[in-house]
Amino acid sequence: MDRFFDSVGLRANHTRAVGRLSLGKSKVGLVWGCLLWVCLLPVNVQAQASEVAELRAQIEAQRAIIERLSERLERLEQKEAAPGGQPEVRGYIAERELHLTGEGAMGFYSTGDAGQHPNNEFLLDEARAYVEARVMPDTYFFAELNMMTREKSREKNSHRGNINLNIGEVYIDFENVRQLFGGSGGPTFRVGRFEIPFGEEYMSRDAMKNPLVTHSLADFWGIDEGIELYGSVGAVSYLVALQNGGHAVGRDFESDKSITVRLGIDPTSSLHLGASYMTTGDLTNIQRGVDTDRLGELWFGNYWILDAGTADTVFSSSFWLGEGRISLGNGHLAFLYGQGLYEDNGEGDTDVEFDYYTLEVVQPFAEKAYGALRWSGIESDEGYYLVGLGNEDLNLEQKTTELQQLSLGLGYRLSESLILKGEYAWISGDILGGGSRDDENMFTLQLAYKFPQR
């Protein structure tokens, strides 16, 4: 029995020894664990610091994006709140440094024997590409490359395929010019080669924006070098432009300049009213052995302003007009009336006075379809070279005293980037000295398109 108890005692001592040994091992493990944690603590701290820095960088990047988006939204809201009738900015600059767009049109054109397309022609009507880039905050560069325009296609060598690329608008816009001098806000200053901002029809002249295929008979338009200042105060918009006036690109052969002034007001959200005045300045006609302007840069009556055949060396023209636009849901009613005066330094009374007018109605009748009507005319007791839709060579030799055009058209928007249009235009007119302008009516089918923004 003693052996038994001894044996039990031994076992008990052995158990206590093992317990002490296990406890000792636990303490050692705990110590080693603490030491390992202390050693790894700097590594963990460094990893956490790196993660915090990365998170901070992401937050700063997101904050910068939010600020840019807020700036862009504010700019868009200012443009939406500004009165109508402002010069057009073709593209749309977001945060990308370079922005590309383009548009054009092609179709079928048919007129009577005295018209511009007596042979039932398929034509490339327009093909343009645009480049726009942000130079610095609130400063943008814009350039237009014309591969084909309706005016270019009428040149005498076009049937030989000798159509060359030519520049359209090329300018820089300085938005909110007061910021350049430490202030804030203010008008936009434009410098370069840009559209003559007389009236507002030129802003909807391109195929994608024109509800019809043809334009009004007056169709004031042109691209010239110069400077322009425009902006708005409340519901009133304003514009002043100083340009060369002559038709030559990059040259001016007369020191007198073209001046354009335009005012607009939006009494209500659905009504816009505007008034414009411009003078071409003095222009020099064709003279043997002398570089001259030959033509004005302003497009009127479907041709450039030119010598009425009575000038000795210098001629000029001035125009004014009043216009309005009433929104009718997704359609509109637009109207225009104005007068003009041609003068030169020829002998006797060589002045020519003009009256011109336009009435346009556009109304959708289905989700993607619309109808359009435009009636326009030009009158001049003294007579002037008015081409209209007639044969160019013939109507630059004979003077017209009255010309009217009534256009009816249908349009269908296949998508935001593609429009199919059809139009029939009736033409009537009187020739100076007797006779009428007949057989110039035009039928057209046109497919207008624009390139997606890139």
Q: What are the tens digits of pLDDT across the range 319-346? A: 999 999 999 989 999 999 999 999 999 9
Lowest mean pLDDT among 15-29, 74-88, 231-245, 268-282: 15-29
- DSSP-assigned letter for residue 390: B
**194, two tokens:** 């840009």
pTM: 0.78
- Mean of all residue pLDDT scores within the chain: 83
pLDDT at 68: 59
Q: Between vectors from CA 141 to CA 90 and to CA 209, what angle results, nearest 5°?
A: 5
pLDDT at 4: 36
Please say if the pLDDT value at position 2 is more than 50. Answer: no
Helix (H, G, I), strand (E, B) or coil at 98: strand
Per-residue pLDDT, averaged over 151-157, amounts to 61
Kindly give the pairing relationship between strand 188-195 and strand 166-174: antiparallel
At residue 448, the pLDDT reads 98
Mean pLDDT of 107-131: 95
- Lowest-confidence pick of 29-43, 166-180, 424-438: 29-43
Residues 6+ positions from 306 with CB-CB distance below 8 Å? 285, 294, 295, 296, 315, 385, 396
- What's the mean pLDDT in 271-279? 98
Tell me which amino acid residue 113 is: D
pLDDT score of 158 more than 70: no
Can you tell me which residue has the tokens 């944690």? 37
Q: What integer is the mean pLDDT of 93-104?
A: 76
Is the pLDDT assigned to residue 293 strictly greater than 90? Answer: no
Rg (CA), the chain: 37
- Please check whether residue 85 is in contact with residue 272, taking contact to mean a CB–CB distance below 8 angstroms: yes
CB-based burial of residue 213 (10 Å sphere; 0-12 exposed, 13-18 middle, 19+ buried)? buried
Mean local confidence (pLDDT), 190-216: 96
pLDDT for position 29? 52
442 close to 302: Cβ distance less than 8 angstroms: no
Token pair recorded at residue 398: 């004979």
Q: Which CATH architecture has domain 100-450?
A: Beta Barrel (2.40)
Over residues 148-176, mean pLDDT: 74
* pLDDT number for residue 25: 45
- Tell whether the torsion through CA atoms of 106, 107, 113 and 115 is positive or negative: negative
Percent share of the chain, pLDDT over 90: 64
User: Residue 374: pLDDT band by 50, 70, 90 thresholds?
Assistant: very high
Query: Checking phi first, is residue 413 left (phi over 0); if not, alpha (psi -120 to 50) or beta?
Result: beta
Which has the higher per-residue pLDDT, 332 or 2?
Answer: 332
407-452 residue pLDDT tens: 999 999 999 999 999 999 999 999 999 999 999 999 999 999 998 7
For residue 38, pLDDT beyond 50: no
Task: Inform me whether the pLDDT recorded for 21 exceeds 50.
Answer: no
pLDDT above 70 covers what percent of the chain? 74
User: Which amino acid is it at 290?
Assistant: V
Three-state SS string across 68-79, please?
HHHHHHHHHHHH
Domain ranges across the chain? 1-81, 100-450
Strand, helix or coil for residue 162: coil
- Residue 122 and residue 107 in contact, taking contact as beta carbons nearer than 8 Å: yes
Residue 94 above 50 pLDDT? Answer: no
Residue 266 pLDDT exceeds 60: yes
CA dist 246 and 266 (Å) reads: 33
CA 212 to chain centre: 18
Separation in Å, CA 201 to CA 122, 189, 263, 322, 422 = 26, 22, 14, 12, 20
Buried b (16+ CB within 10 A) or exposed e, 30-60: eeeeeeeeeeeeeeeeeeeeeeeeeeeeeee
Averaged pLDDT, 79-88: 54
Residue 443: in which H helix or E strand, if any?
strand 442-450
Is residue 305 left, alpha or beta, with left meaning phi > 0 and alpha meaning psi from -120 to 50? beta
CA distance 185 to 231: 10
Mean pLDDT of 148-174: 73
Q: What is the pLDDT of residue 286?
A: 77
